[in-house]
Amino acid sequence: MQKNKRPSFAFGLAAYNHQDYILEHLESIKYLVLTHGTNIDVDLIVNDDCSQDNTCNLVDQWLKLNTGLFRSVKTIYNPNNLGTCASVNNMLDHVIADRCKLSGGDDVYSFENIFELTQHNQSFSIISGRPLYLLDEELGIDKLSNGLATATQVIYAQDSLLHRFKHFSYNNAPNILYATDCLLHPNVRSCLKHYDVMEDWPLQVAIARQFPERQFELIDQVLVYYRRTAGSTYIVANERFVRDKIRMYDDLIRHETSWIEIVRLASRKFCFKANNRWLNKFLNLDLFYFSLSYLFRARTIFKKDSAVCIPIEKHRQHYAAIKSKAAVAQQKLV
């Protein structure tokens, strides 16, 4: 980095039929830039994957009033639905900032200083904040998700990043930020081209393979409020998502040399394809190993988890303010 060069940050926004939420997302970015973005060059990269609603028009109209917030703005509107992975690669083509954050157009950024919290050294390839969920416009804490995040960090603390992502673990994708040099590596981006709508797991495995010495850092702040909607991929396991996940299992098994690891992964793949909760409980060896590791480390996990304090009321107030600003913006755009 050149001396006296201003730090830079890029927001990558992946949108698809998000007309009901996109202004909240954009207003939450605006809040971060105005509140914490002094002396930082901020870029905005938007990729809409051929929305069938008013998403693109809302983005265009909002940008007419707010382009001055950013050093540069790039909008990419796919003429056909290409899938999340191709859309992410589209955005990565235009990343020139020191750091970047990828997010969905239906999520909302918290009040935390993302520019400061995500400054990490070369030891880390991935940073993750804590999960908060937006469900029916209500912001809440999912204690199970946060407990699993803590457990995952404790269980895999001494393992390689690849081991963490190969096997059963909890990682809240909306709160994850990837080191830009890892994200932009040609081999990582090439891996993404083999998938369709499931971008996070392939990215994580590819980064772990390419940067085996790097680590994962879990911070106790919330970076993004994850909105769960009826159309979320985790709810609607459509054929494209299922194909991607099976392709990922096959890739992991194909690259494995240890028969124990192969059996663990194969059992997990079998249970996923069977889509039966009872089989998943009794035949998923990966889940069994994780549960056993949890029991052995339960005291440490409970201690660390109980020390996490998320100011939920402050976050709710912030979301209410963002929602109000989005409503005002909506009126201005009509």
Residue 273 lies in a domain: no
Residue 285 lies in a domain: no
Can you give the CATH number for the domain in which 51 is found? 3.90.550.10
> Structural domain of residue 326, as residue ranges?
9-237+311-333
Say what the pLDDT of residue 279 is.
81
Please give the model's pTM, rounded to 2 decimal places. Answer: 0.94
Residue 321 lies in a domain: yes
Residue 59 lies in a domain: yes
Take residue 25 and report the two structure tokens written for it: 């997302």
Say what the pLDDT of residue 1 is.
44
Q: Residue 44, Cα to own-chain centre: how many angstroms?
A: 17
Query: CA 318 to CA 31: how far, in whole Å?
Result: 10
Q: Are 214 and 100 in contact (CB under 8 A)?
A: no
Give the full edge-to-edge strand order of the sheet including 176-178.
176-178, 124-128, 215-218
Residue 257 lies in a domain: no
- Name the domain count of the chain: 1
Give CA separation, 271 vs 200, 246, 279, in Å.
21, 11, 6
Residue 319 lies in a domain: yes
Say what the pLDDT of residue 280 is.
79
Residue 246 lies in a domain: no
Residue 66 lies in a domain: yes
Say what the pLDDT of residue 230 is.
58
Mean pLDDT per block of 10 residues along the chain (334 residues) reads 76 96 98 96 97 96 96 97 96 96 97 90 90 92 95 96 96 95 97 96 97 94 88 60 96 96 96 86 91 96 96 98 96 84
Say what the pLDDT of residue 269 is.
95
